[in-house]
């Protein structure tokens, strides 16, 4: 019989057990857990940034540069970009609000109490690493655990 650590969950898609598992992401083809939360958040951040820029440029092109006889589907590209922008931005904001409290979506849904809460600064360092200048760069978030 094995003793399961707190916040460890089994993923049936990956067939592995991971710590701080949030969900299995089909886009990244892996579980979102404590080791790749930063990569997932940066994926959402840069995805929302890209789709925002794509929406602005596509909307400008279709609204101002195409002649008046645009047809019925002139807004389809802008609508698709806008929808993706809203979804990725919404998910990113949710996670940015949960991380300082040391929660993942699974914890929020299950209303379980946070384990190992280091305070909002410590929780951000745990995910993004100790150097704030590297937080928006896709590097591995390495946190040095120090006794205070």
Give residue limits of the domains in the chain. Answer: 34-134
The per-residue pLDDT for 53 is 93
CA-based end-to-end distance of the chain: 36
Q: What is the DSSP letter of 102?
A: T
Beta strand pairing call for 16-19 and 30-32: unpaired
Report the alpha-carbon distance of residue 13 to residue 57 in Å, rounded. 38
Strand, helix or coil for residue 49:
helix
- Decide if 25 is catalytic: yes
**Residue 114 pLDDT grade (very low, low, confident, very high; cuts 50, 70, 90):** low
**Residue 21 φ then ψ, to 5°:** -70, 135
Identify the active-site residue in 11, 17, 25, 84.
Answer: 25
The pLDDT value recorded for residue 87 is 93
* Mean pLDDT of all residues in 124-128: 87
| pLDDT of amino acid 148 | 47
- The overall average pLDDT reported for the chain is 81
How sure is the predictor about 59, in pLDDT bands with cuts at 50, 70 and 90? confident
Residue 74's pLDDT is 65
- pLDDT value of position 102: 83
Task: List the beta bridge partners of residue 8.
Answer: 19
Q: Where are the alpha helices (H) located in the chain, listed in sequence order?
A: 37-60, 76-98, 105-110, 119-128
Q: Which residue has the higher pLDDT, 11 or 115?
A: 11
b/e per residue, 117-142, with b = 16+ CB within 10 A? Answer: ebeeebbbbbbbbeeeeebeeeeebe
> Quick one: pLDDT band at residue 113, thresholds 50, 70, 90?
low
C-alpha 70/C-alpha 77 separation (Å) is 13
3-state DSSP percent of the chain in helix, strand and coil, to 5 = 50, 10, 40
Per-residue confidence (pLDDT) for residue 93, from 0 to 100 = 94
Q: What is the pLDDT of residue 146?
A: 53
Copy the structure tokens of residue 54. Answer: 């794509």
**Looking at the predicted structure, is the pLDDT value of residue 131 above 70?**
yes
Task: For residue range 17-35, list pLDDT tens digits in order.
Answer: 888 888 888 888 888 888 8
- Residue 146, token pair as written in the block: 């120090």
* Mean pLDDT along residues 70-89: 81
């Amino acid at each position: 019989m094995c003793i399961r650590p707190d916040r460890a969950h089994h993923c049936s898609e990956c067939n592995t057990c991971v710590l701080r598992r949030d969900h299995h992401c089909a886009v990244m083809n892996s579980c979102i857990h404590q080791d790749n939360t930063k990569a997932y958040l940066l994926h959402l951040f840069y995805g929302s940034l890209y789709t925002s820029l794509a929406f602005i440029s596509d909307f400008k092109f279709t609204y101002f540069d195409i002649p008046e006889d645009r047809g019925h589907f002139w807004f389809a590209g802008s609508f698709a970009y806008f929808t993706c922008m809203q979804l990725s931005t919404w998910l990113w904001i949710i996670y940015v609000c949960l991380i300082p409290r040391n929660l993942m979506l699974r914890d929020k849904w299950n209303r379980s109490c946070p384990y190992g809460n280091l305070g909002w600064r410590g929780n951000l360092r745990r995910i993004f690493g100790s150097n704030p200048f590297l937080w928006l760069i896709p590097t591995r978030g390495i946190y040095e655990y120090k006794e205070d």
